[in-house]
């Protein structure tokens, strides 16, 4: 997971004037109507983590393919790195 993730505050409803639910002494995540939303966010975070891992793996494979394409086998059996 990237280090800049989870830089958001623990309580997104800290402004009591903008969100009347903030007067409730329970955290917004513990209210019954917020549970499905919090589960949705947890699932989205898991999916994003998975997508990021797949993208990093894909980038690694692309770099290795590029390195292989940049090598040319010579008649003597050695290889020469070709830069374009």
- Please give the span between the terminal C-alpha atoms of the chain, in angstroms, as a whole number: 34
Q: Which residue has the tokens 């402004």?
A: 15
Q: Residues 48-66: what's their mean pLDDT?
A: 97
Torsion of CA 10, 12, 13, 19, to 10 degrees: -170
Q: What is the pLDDT of residue 28?
A: 58
Q: What is the pLDDT of residue 1?
A: 47
Ranges 19-28, 48-57, 61-70, most confident: 48-57
* Tokens found for residue 42: 């947890």
């Amino acid at each position: 997971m990237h280090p800049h993730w989870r830089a958001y505050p623990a309580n997104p409803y800290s402004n009591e004037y903008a969100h009347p639910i903030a007067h409730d002494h329970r955290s917004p995540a513990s209210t019954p109507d917020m549970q499905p939303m919090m589960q949705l966010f947890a699932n989205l975070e898991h999916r994003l983590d998975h997508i990021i891992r797949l993208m990093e793996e894909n980038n690694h494979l692309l770099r290795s393919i590029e390195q292989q394409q940049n090598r040319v086998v010579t008649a003597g059996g050695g290889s020469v790195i070709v830069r374009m």
